[in-house]
Amino acid sequence: MDYSLPKLSHCNHVSVLSPQICKKDFEGFKKLFHRFLQVKGPSVEWPKINRPPEDSIQPYEKIREKGLPENVANSLNKLVVVKLNGGLGTSMGCKGPKSLISVRNENTFLDLTVQQIEHLNKTYNTDVPLVLMNSFNTDEDTRKILQKYTHHRVKIHTFNQSRYPRINKESLLPVAKDMGLVGESADGWYPPGHGDIYASFYNSGLLEQLIAEGKEYIFVSNIDNLGATVDLHILNHLVSQPNGKRCEFIMEVTDKTRADVKGGTLIQYEGKLRLLEIAQVPKAHVDEFKSVSKFKIFNTNNLWISLAAIKRLQEQNAMDMEIIVNPKTLNGGLNVIQLETAVGAAIKCFDNALGINVPRSRFLPVKTTSDLLLVMSNLYSLEAGSLTMSEKREFPTTPHVKLGSSFTKVQEYLIRFESIPDMLELDHLTVSGDVTFGKNVSLKGTVIIIANHGDRIDIPAGSMLENKIVSGNLRILDH
């Protein structure tokens, strides 16, 4: 069977997609596709997996003990903050980029990011720029919104990650018939995962430009991780390394809990620190991978990476990341596959790579409305774009919140809360069915509220529920 790729006609995407970019995307896809055809069997041999050596994952406290230098500004001026901004808000029932969802006091993920960096630049009189890696899904909407930050003290750059064709699972041929993003070809394309950052950043010319401006490191994180703020101690650790032992890549990891069993973990493999994702684990070992006792940490996707090293590895064609095969079913029922890579998987290509075991507070992702409830509540206080756990909470862990399907979409979720409950003393909340919350409700301990099918539960304004199970039908009628 001939798996050569059909010739696709010209680019007719927004003006930023020049023919050169299209050509580079296509080259990148061809390389990935050929690797996919050649790879046989799992990408890791289980017996070769070892725990990372002690010194390869440092506790954050040890990094912090070094203190900060007199002139923090020198280090900050070598830094660029990069946010992965390719995702849509569809899983939370929103149209457009996820970064434009309001998460706190009408502030979006993007607003909070800009506020954080502006605060740094004003406090230390520095010039830390923000770079957004958009996808063809988010680029246009994001660019429109960026105009509102023109008077903020933050330079904002954007570049687009690649656009690759989805592949028919049976024929292994591209689904798209042309380069268009509307009509029947709209489903034919996808952004190939955040591992694409290296090639896209390099191809955009922005990497070269930032190096020329004296920038040395990027801090990369997901835009929906509200814990991923610039940490001056980690930055100082990077910048103060002796030249011969310069660390080119730091991955922030944190202790696994039972909620994190699917997160990628760091292993030692063939003498190198390497990221092991659940997709690479042979089926027989999945339970072992998920166990909290053998693999104690997971990757937060907060990464600190040397710009010069990215440039070197791109030019040497030495960036090697395992392929993640992501199966999807399109609206018409067609089974396709997307070939993707993960940014952290490149850790094995960099010199003197290091893991830092950071506090859990550095990992605060908002993937669902259950997460949104936590960050909107009084558990967190907001200052200069950063969320910190309230000092009034007596223990540092976040409550476990599970909201049912009636809360999945942001619009529905907002209608169901007249105001966000007081959750300072909450351990666990499960809500299922048609439930609404009045103003000034307070939740403590373990609270389970289950409205059976056809029933509705209205939690009255001012209620205090402590270690309660509420079920059946509780409707408060105005009269």
CB 239, CB 214: distance < 8 Å: no
CA distance 452 to 472: 6
Burial class (CB in 10 A: 0-12, 13-18, 19+), 450: middle
Please give the DSSP secondary-structure letter assigned to residue 97.
B
Cβ within 8 Å of residue 38, ≥6 positions away = none
311 is in an annotated binding site: no
Residues 6+ apart with CB under 8 A from 243: none
Side chain identity at residue 415, one-letter code: I
Q: In what order do the strands lie in the sheet with 297-306?
A: 57-59, 354-357, 249-255, 297-306, 217-222, 79-85, 130-134, 156-160
Report the interhelical angle of 197-204 vs 307-315 (nearest 10°).
90
Which residues are catalytically annotated?
A: 367
Residues 6+ apart with CB under 8 A from 273: 52, 56, 266, 267, 347, 348, 353, 354, 355
Q: Which residues pair with 386 in a beta bridge?
A: 383
Distance CA 294, CA 259 (A): 15
Of all residues in the chain, what percent are helix, strand and coil, respectively (each to 5)? 35, 30, 40
Is 245 labeled as ligand-binding? no
Structure tokens at 361: 């507070």
297 contacts 176 by C-beta, under 8 angstroms: no
Q: Is 355 annotated as a binding residue?
A: no
> Which residues, 6 or more positions from 369, have their beta carbon under 8 angstroms from its beta carbon?
92, 403, 407, 408, 409, 410, 413
- Whether 78 has a binding-site annotation, put simply, is no
Q: How far is CA 380 from CA 101, 221, 443, in A?
A: 18, 20, 15
In the chain, the largest separation of any two C-alpha atoms, in whole Å, equals 77
Annotated binding-site residue? 427: no
Number of H helices, E strands in the chain: 12, 26
Say which residues have a Cβ less than 8 Å from residue 430's Cβ, sequence separation at least 6. Answer: 402, 447, 448, 449, 450
**224 annotated ligand binder:** yes
The three-point CA angle 156-162-163 to 5° equals 125
Instruction: Tell me the residue length of the chain.
Output: 479
Binding-site residue ranges for UTP: 98, 161, 193, 224, 367
Binding-site residue ranges: 98, 161, 193-194, 224, 367
